[in-house]
Structures are given as structure tokens and as C-alpha cells.
A and B are shown apart, each in its own frame.
Chain A
Amino acid sequence: MSDLSRKRVVTTEAPWVRYTLTAVALAFILLFLVLPLAAVFAEASRKGLQAFIDALREPDAWSAIKLTLITAAIAVPMNLVFGIAAAWCIAKYEFRGKAFLTTLVDLPFSVSPVVAGLIYVLMFGAQGWFGPWLAAHNIKIVFAVPGIVLATIFVTFPFIARELIPLMQAQGNDEEQAAIVLGANGWQTFWHVTLPNIKWGLIYGVILCNARAMGEFGAVSVVSGHIRGQTNTMPLHVEILYNEYQSVAAFAVASLLALLAVVTLAIKSVVQWRHEREMKAAAEIPPERPPALKEAI
């Protein structure tokens, strides 16, 4: 197979190998990614536009949409502030236990969503640590909105920090130090120097965090109690409708979430392309020594 290709191009494969590999890879993508996505929209529109709109205008669906938006509106900014703070102290300073702290920040990614929900039930549930106290003061956290928000925060906890830490580490401290030496205070330095440098990573982290916050199912399912019209988020509403064999309605709500995913991917790709273009432009500024720059990296 290689006798032919060796003579022509050294570091690629014979055409038939290339075409076969590409075809197999694309078939895999088609089967596992494109078809499920297409199925969501096809199933949602199976009974026509009117059934689709009716499913979304139903009061329970509407309250699920509202609760999902509220949850994301609280969870994403909370994790944004945390992400910036964590990235600042981890990327800009050296201190003991830094590697351990970074691992702890990553921890929620490896905890099963169901376990994530369970820990809040154990803390705030009727039999939990704070359960009796909360009941005495008539505060509901589990099987109510605060529990849903907490579980969502846990599950989306590392997203923004994870994006910012490597980015800020790669950029180093030189520009911030220059700003401080020139008399800027810490806040001005962050706002005018650091933020413009990390804006793409920040946007990227926020949209991924948002997509996961709106779509979280397992953790929210444990703490929500599935009270229709009150503690149902969109993914939970999809489950209820699906289990009641209201397939079109379930897929109608699901298609909104799928649309969110597609928009997220689109924004992500645009952000990534712009970031790459800026990196390329930055690398080309001193035209006499791009190879040296490449070496340094």
C-alpha cells in the first residue's frame, strides 16, 4: 500500500487509505452526532407547527422554561466570579498546595451528577444536617428552587475557572506588573489589562457553563422533587412528558434545548476562530523572527 505513496508524498497515506479513513470517521460522526440531533427536530415537528407551539405554550412548559432561565441567571454569574478569582490566584502566584487546589477545583467534573444532588439532600433534606433547623424556620432548600440552583452551581463549578487558568498562565504577569508599576491599582489593572487578554476564554467558558447549567438533569433531578409548575426545569419537564408518552411535546421542549446546544457550538466556534486569528496576527507582528517565537513556545 505504501510503495506508491512513498514515491510521491512522504508523510501522507495513499489516496484510498485517506478516503476510507475519512469516510469511516464521517460515518461515525453522522451516526452518533448528526442523526440524534436531527431526530430531536424531526420528532418535535412530526405533528406540525401548531402542535409544537401548543406544547411550548402550555403553562407547565412555560414555568419550566422560566425556572431554567432563573437557575442559569444565578449559577453562571456565581461561577464567573469564582472562576476569575480562582484563575487569578492560581495563575498569577506561586504558593504551596497550588496543584492540590487546582485538582479540587476540577473535582465536580468527576463526581456523578446523581451524587452531586445527593450531597445537598444530605445537607438540607428533612433528615440532613440542617434539616431540622430549616424546617423550624420554614425554609425550603431541597425540593425547592434553592436546591436546584445549588446543584446546578456544583455541576457547572469548574467550567469558567478551567478555561481561564491555562490562558492566564500562558500570558504571564508582565503586562499586569507594568500597569502596577505605572500606577494603576489592582482593579484598574484587571479591568484594562487582564480582561481584554482573557476575553475569548471568558466568553467560551461562560457559554459552556450556561449550556450545562440549562441542560443539567441528573443532579437537578435528585433535588427537585419534580413538582410540576414549581420545581421543574426544562430537562425534567422533557422527562415527565416523555414518560407520559407525550412524545411530540417532549421533543418540542427538547428541541429548544437542542437549539441552545447548536447556538452554543456556533458561538464557541466563532470565538475559537477569532481567538486563533488574533493569536496568528500577534505571532506575525515581528516579521523577522517568527521561527524564534515558535521555538520559544
Chain B
Amino acid sequence: MTAASLGVPLPGGAAASSRGGSKKVLPGFNLTLGYTLLYLSLIVLIPLSALVFKTFTLSSAQFWAAIASPRVLASYRLTFGASLIAAVVNAVFGLLVAWVLVRYNFPGKKVVDALVDLPFALPTAVAGIALTALLAGNGWLGQYLEPLGIKLAFNPNGVVIALIFIGLPFVVRTVQPVLEDSERELEEAAMCLGANRWQTFIHVIFPSVAPALLTGFAMAFARAIGEYGSVIFIAGNVPMVSEITPLVIIGKLEQYDYAGATAVATVMLAMSFLLLLVINALQGWQRRRSGAG
């Protein structure tokens, strides 16, 4: 969601010089840090630790049975596979949209730019039923696609489409500021040295946006893995075929299988942590890149 901050990633270094001795001058450090830690603990850390502690009350056989049953394994395959495809599509089209928004002029550009954030603002359940209305057999697009043998709703294709919708802003909003800041002089130099436009893109422009592109890709992927609201309406939710992992957790909860739900949720939480670390590392790389360049 850093992607959504006001357009340009603000340079942290600008303030570094004035931060040094400020602890003595500015009041409120203990108060604000104390409140931050208290609120963070109450809302996030203690409830999350409840999940981990609950997991430890399971025997390892129970835990294993819950997270590795065929139905759950099928849901991992779908969730990760569909998220990966959606994130790849988002990386390609996100880069294209960011490129067009930064480099070209066309009527209605500001509206398109604003519209890119729609998936952040539109409630996921609304997105889910809207996409279903479009792609179901009797829907706006579905009625033309279905006779051609293309089914995009109530099967894994629907999952991918919902996840593309959800992840779109992440790539655009991370790549856009980098493209805006990139120096045209480098491109001019490349052209003067005899590179054609395609070579310039591959060897000069692409390497400079690659860290941001990867960050956006990882963010879209992470978001897609946890996504629930937009997917369940369009997926059809057939066990072993089009049932995503978050829905497996809900299913277990509805059968009062708290232990099973907790075990699968722990796997998802571990995955979230891992992706968060990867995204942090990528952002660090991106900052170093832009700092050096």
C-alpha cells in the first residue's frame, strides 16, 4: 500500500540531517511510542499470537492432517497458481499502463490515472458480483464468450480474473513514480551511441524500473494470496477444483473445526510473513538503486 502514497516515494534522506539531535528538543516521544506499542499490541500482536498459541495446542499429527489433506493441498495449488498468473499479468499490463500514463498524452488521462486506484476503493464483494455479472454465461461478456467455448466464471479462470482486478494498482503505483523520475539523458545517450528504441528500453529503461516492477509484482502476489471477497462470487467454489485457501478456512470454521482452521491459517500467516520480508528487501533494493542513480 506504500504504492498508494502520494504519487512519488518521498526521499527519507532529505530529513536525515535534521533528525540527529531532535530527541531532546521535540516533546512527545515517550507518549507517542508508548501509545503506538500499546495499540499495536492490543489490536495486532496479541490476537496474532492467539493464533500461534492455538496452533501449538495441536499435536503434530493433527496439524499435519489439517494442512496436508488433499482438499487443502488442492486449494494451495489454486491459490498460489492463480495468484502467480494474476501477478504476472499485472506486472506486464501494470508496466504498460504506467508507461502510457507517464510518457504519452491522450484525452481523459487524469480520469484514467484516478481510475487505476479503483480496486483499492471498491469493496471486494462489490467487485466480485460485478465481475460475475460480466462473465457469467448470461452476462454482458459471458454471453458472447460462452458460445466460443470460453468459460471465465465459476471455474479457476474466474479466480485469476478476480485476482488481476485486485492486484492491478500495486504494479502501476510502484512503477509510475520511478518512470516519472527516470532521466531522459540516459535514453538520449543510448540513442546517440546507436541503440534503437527497443534496445534502449531493454538495456536502459527496463533495468531502472526492474526493482519497482518486482516490488509491485510481489505486492500484487501477496494481496492475491489472501484475497477472499472478490473471488468467492466468481470462483464457483467447487472443492478440489475452484476452492481457494481462505475459503477452506471459512469452511472449517463453519463446521466448528477450529483446530483445522487455525492450522491452515497459520500456514497462510507464515506465507504472509515471508512475503512481507521479501517485499521489504525489494523496497530496500529499490531505494538503494534510486539513491545510487
Q: In the bound complex, do residue A200 and residue B44 qualify as a contact, i.e. CB atoms below 8 Å apart?
A: no
Interface band, chain A: 35 or more
| Residue B240 interfacial (CB < 8 Å) | no
- Residue from the list A35, A37, A86, A296 in contact with B122, Cβ < 8 A: A37
Within 8 Å CB of B139, what residues of A? 39
- Residue from the list A22, A238, A269 in contact with B129, Cβ < 8 A: A238
| Residue A67 interfacial (CB < 8 Å) | no
- Residue from the list B11, B17, B121, B229 in contact with A170, Cβ < 8 A: B11
Q: How far is the CB of B271 from chain A (nearest CB, A)?
A: 9
- Residue from the list A29, A82, A93, A275 in contact with B112, Cβ < 8 A: A29
Give Cα A126–Cα B233 distance, bound, in whole angstroms. 29
| Interface segment, one of B65-73, B208-216, B246-254 | B246-254
**A105 and chain B: residue at smallest CB distance:** B40
Q: In the bound complex, do residue B22 and residue A92 qualify as a contact, i.e. CB atoms below 8 Å apart?
A: yes
| Residue A49 interfacial (CB < 8 Å) | no
Q: In the bound complex, do residue A261 and residue B122 qualify as a contact, i.e. CB atoms below 8 Å apart?
A: yes
Within 8 Å CB of A236, what residues of B? 125
| Residue A26 interfacial (CB < 8 Å) | yes
Q: How far is the CB of B115 from chain A (nearest CB, A)?
A: 5
Q: How far is the CB of B22 from chain A (nearest CB, A)?
A: 5
Give Cα A269–Cα B120 distance, bound, in whole angstroms. 14
Give Cα A127–Cα B256 distance, bound, in whole angstroms. 10
Q: In the bound complex, do residue B104 and residue A257 qualify as a contact, i.e. CB atoms below 8 Å apart?
A: no
| Residue A94 interfacial (CB < 8 Å) | yes
Known: A36-B130, A110-B226, A215-B126. Contact between A268 and B35, CB under 8 A? Answer: no
Give Cα A226–Cα B36 distance, bound, in whole angstroms. 32
Q: In the bound complex, do residue A162 and residue B5 qualify as a contact, i.e. CB atoms below 8 Å apart?
A: yes
Q: In the bound complex, do residue B126 and residue A258 qualify as a contact, i.e. CB atoms below 8 Å apart?
A: yes
Q: How far is the CB of B132 from chain A (nearest CB, A)?
A: 8
- Residue from the list A28, A29, A297 in contact with B11, Cβ < 8 A: A297
Known: A166-B9, A265-B114, A268-B117. Contact between A217 and B228, CB under 8 A? Answer: yes
Interface string of B246-275 (1 = CB under 8 A from A): 110110010000100110010011001101
Within 8 Å CB of A109, what residues of B? 1
Interface string of A212-230 (1 = CB under 8 A from B): 1011111001100000000
Give Cα A18–Cα B197 distance, bound, in whole angstroms. 12
Interface band, chain B: 35 or more
Q: In the bound complex, do residue A111 and residue B226 qualify as a contact, i.e. CB atoms below 8 Å apart?
A: yes
| Interface segment, one of A53-61, A153-161, A280-288 | A153-161
Q: Which of B144-197 contact A (CB under 8 A)?
A: 164-165, 168, 184, 187-188, 191-192, 196-197
Within 8 Å CB of A200, what residues of B? 6
Q: In the bound complex, do residue A107 and residue B258 qualify as a contact, i.e. CB atoms below 8 Å apart?
A: no
**A5 and chain B: residue at smallest CB distance:** B197
Q: Which of B197-248 contact A (CB under 8 A)?
A: 197-198, 222, 225-229, 233, 246-247
Q: In the bound complex, do residue B45 and residue A104 qualify as a contact, i.e. CB atoms below 8 Å apart?
A: yes
Known: A37-B122, A119-B47, A238-B126. 11 other contacts (CB 8 A): A2-B197, A28-B97, A33-B118, A82-B39, A101-B40, A114-B228, A114-B250, A154-B43, A251-B133, A257-B125, A265-B118
Q: List 26 A-B contacts (CB under 8 A).
A: A2-B197, A6-B196, A11-B184, A22-B104, A26-B112, A33-B118, A33-B165, A36-B131, A39-B139, A93-B19, A101-B40, A106-B276, A114-B265, A128-B50, A167-B5, A170-B11, A173-B19, A176-B26, A177-B26, A180-B27, A211-B120, A222-B250, A242-B233, A254-B123, A257-B123, A268-B117
